[in-house]
Structure 1
Amino acid sequence: MRSVCLIWLLFVAVYDFRQRRVPNWLVLAGAALALAALALEMQPFDIGWTTAFTAAAVAFGVLLLLYAVGFMGAGDVKFAAALGLWVGLSALLPIWIVGSILAGVHSTLFLALQRWPVFPRLSLMLLGRTHAAAIDNGNAAPKRRRLVVPYAAYLALATAAWMVWGRQS
């Protein structure tokens, strides 16, 4: 089941990096797989139902507050809840910290490239495929571009790193 989780994380990361959104079907698939792993007692990280549901509720609740103030999208919130079903409460804090650092680096690099346009293509890549294509086609060229950080992708990458290097089992 560990490989199933990694494949799901890969799909989330690729989708979020390319489209800057995480579709509901992908979140629901991950949640269903996590629940199936729990039901079949094949949970790869040795957590139980209580730990999984507590982690999902905490992840959803904390990120819902950030969504409410406009810091992230709804897909990020739902993905974090599904992720909590997989990894449990004790893994969420290090995953959030690493994912947030990666997202912060993304934002800082984008802002630096906006101020000093040394590599304009890299700036467009950080902006996202959909937004960059619109700007390339001349459809939208605002003075200040709104950055949409693929937070779920960075959480997925942080989780994959935790799975590979952070666990001692």
Structure 2
Amino acid sequence: MNVSVGILLFIAWAAVVAISDCRSRRIANAVIVAGLAAAFACALLQCGPFGVSLTQAAMGALVGLAALLPFFALGVMGAADVKVFAVLGAWCGMHALLGLWMAASLAAGVHALWLLITTRTRLAGLFRHDGVTFELAGKASTPYAACLTAAASAWLLLQGLSGGVR
């Protein structure tokens, strides 16, 4: 199996995650499990787009899960976002997680600012405790998992343009 198969699997998984998150702010556990299985299979067969070993994939998944779990526990992040970050750790390795987290957080910040502007939400309204503070087209909050997969896809594209993809 060659790297192009791994690239296609990653892009397909990332697209399903992003589309699902943008449309419904939900990501099925089957999509998470499929992404994790594909990441480990690519690592085992050495055809992953990011060139991680099986050990690196396992460490990346564990670090990804542990890194965002406190945000879920505090109620500021959804469980799917945490699981997607763990799967990205398996695909990309733990060395990539900080950069992906920063890029996704910047994208999420831009999205949140866009929501504030387009919904004309006053800052005082953000601190309500009676439900959704702002939404657009019936969707509350920012699709963070989509931001995560977009950041990883952009990194893959940049690697390909620079000749870094094996």
Pairwise TM-score range, normalised by the shorter structure: 0.7 to 0.9
Write the deviation string for residues 71-114 of structure 1: whole angstroms up to 9, x where unpaired. Answer: 11001111111111101112111111111101111111212333
Query: Which ranges in structure 1 are unaligned for 5 or more consecutive residues?
Result: 118-125, 133-146
1:165 has 2:146 as partner:
no
Question: 1:71 matched to which residue of 2?
Answer: 76
Which stretches of structure 1, 4 residues or more, deviate above 2 A after TM superposition?
112-117, 126-129
C-alpha distance in structure 2 between counterparts of 1:128 and 1:25, whole Å: 27
Write the deviation string for residues 37-84 of structure 1: whole angstroms up to 9, x where unpaired. Answer: 122222222211221111111111111101111111001111111111
Question: 2:144 matched to which residue of 1?
Answer: 151
Equivalent residues of 2:108, 2:143 under 8 A apart? yes
Residues paired across the two proteins, number: 146
What TM-score do you get using the length of structure 2 for normalisation? 0.80
Equivalent residues of 1:17, 1:128 under 8 A apart? no
1:32 has 2:25 as partner:
no
- SS class of match (1:100): helix
1:12 has 2:21 as partner:
no
Task: Tell me the C-alpha RMSD between the 2 structures.
Answer: 1.9
Aligned partner letter, 1:14: I
Equivalent residues of 1:18, 1:128 under 8 A apart? no
Question: 2:99 matched to which residue of 1?
Answer: 94
Query: Which ranges in structure 2 are unaligned for 5 or more consecutive residues?
Result: 1-5, 123-133
1:47 has 2:52 as partner:
yes
Larger relative contact order, structure 1 or 2 (CA cutoff 8 Å, min sep 6): 1
Please show how residues 59-138 of structure 1 align to structure 2 within 5 Å.
59-115=64-120, 127=135, 131=138
Equivalent residues of 1:45, 1:86 under 8 A apart? yes
Q: CA deviation at 1:127?
A: 3.2
